[in-house]
Amino acid sequence: MESTVESSVESSGENAVVGRSAPTRVAAVLLAVALLVGVSIAFGSGSARADSGSWSVQPAPKPGSPAGARQYFILEGRPGSTLQDGLAVSNYTDHPITYYVYGADGYNTPKDGQFALRDHGYPMTGVGSWVRTAFPTITVPARTSTVVPISIAIPQSASPGDHVGGVSGMDTAVESVQQQGNVRVGIKRVVAARLYVHVDGPALGGLTVTNLKVSGSAPFPAYVSDSDGTVTATVTNSGNLLESPKAHLHGTGIFGTLIDRTVQLPQILPGQTVDFSQVWKNIPPFEIGTLHLDVTDQSASPPVTSTAAVSVTLIPWFTLLVVVLVALVLLVALWFWRRRRSPLPLRPRPRPRREPEPSKAAAP
């Protein structure tokens, strides 16, 4: 569950797609939900319920179930059907609070790929537009919990697979006002219960890895200092089911293993994209090899996998250039030094040319 504040203004990748049975799909969703319990996802809330500190929202308990038994809405239906449920809104303060109650689309944030919900007033085009509330606004008395009936009307044209969003409650009162340049911005607090709706039909899991790149260069001077690089890629959920993949980055070169690392990626919603980025510590000064990125979700049967590869050529050109220049300077200096140590041999002076004496004529 999530809590946030809302402002108001006064490569070459290989795509793998497989089908999943219904039990496998349900297990995948529950596993993904379990991975997210207690983790701060996009809104900074790690509590068991969506809680602002003063009030909370969560799925209403089913008949015969204890309060708080459900952390999320997990529902399933066929296109054209309507699902009924309820949202429990609890006010812990000593004064009544009025809330907007509305459905919101889920998405992966561009920066870090974490789960987030669209703000109030944003045009909802996904599961958020399916949510119908019995009351657009509701006033909950002090220290009271109220259940708001909700329905999820699945359109006849809804695509099969997983649709993720939330049922949000927003305090209508402005919590604070911030000045941003010439504009005054009112801050309202929102909390939400996550909503997972699976629409019956062909279930396809898919992942695609593209734009695998390596940035960074060999350290200078080579073999003396260290330099770090970055490996980036784009991972897209190309199927219609939630994916919770792991990324295995590995590479080999002429001198052995370059890198070998496995990381857990955020849960990726169908049709959404997350950016993969890993720091490559201590790039080798000289190496020629290949990096591979394997992204796999083991919850599929068989697992969904996509792989991309990129060639790596690391040559310390700057270091080599400096070495060559230093060598040339040393050679020139050595030549001048040897020349000064070995003076040029003296050439013999040419003898002066003697003019022939005039011959004397014999006396008569």
pLDDT digits (tens, 9 = 90+) for 70-111: 889 999 999 999 999 999 999 999 999 999 999 999 999 988
User: Average of pLDDT values for 198-221?
Assistant: 88
Domains in the chain, ordered, with CATH?
2-10+20-199 (2.60.40.10), 204-314 (2.60.40.10)
pTM of the model: 0.73
Q: What is the pLDDT of residue 244?
A: 93
CB 186 within 8 A of CB 149: no
> Cα(94)–Cα(297) distance, rounded to whole angstroms?
47
Q: What is the pLDDT of residue 317?
A: 64
Higher pLDDT, 308 or 68: 308
Q: What is the pLDDT of residue 28?
A: 43
Higher pLDDT, 238 or 183: 238
Q: What is the pLDDT of residue 179?
A: 76
List residues bridging with 313 in a β-sheet.
288
DSSP helix/strand/coil, 57: strand
Q: What is the pLDDT of residue 285?
A: 79
pLDDT band at 47 (very low <50, low <70, confident <90, very high): very low
Q: What is the pLDDT of residue 26?
A: 40
Q: What is the pLDDT of residue 162?
A: 96
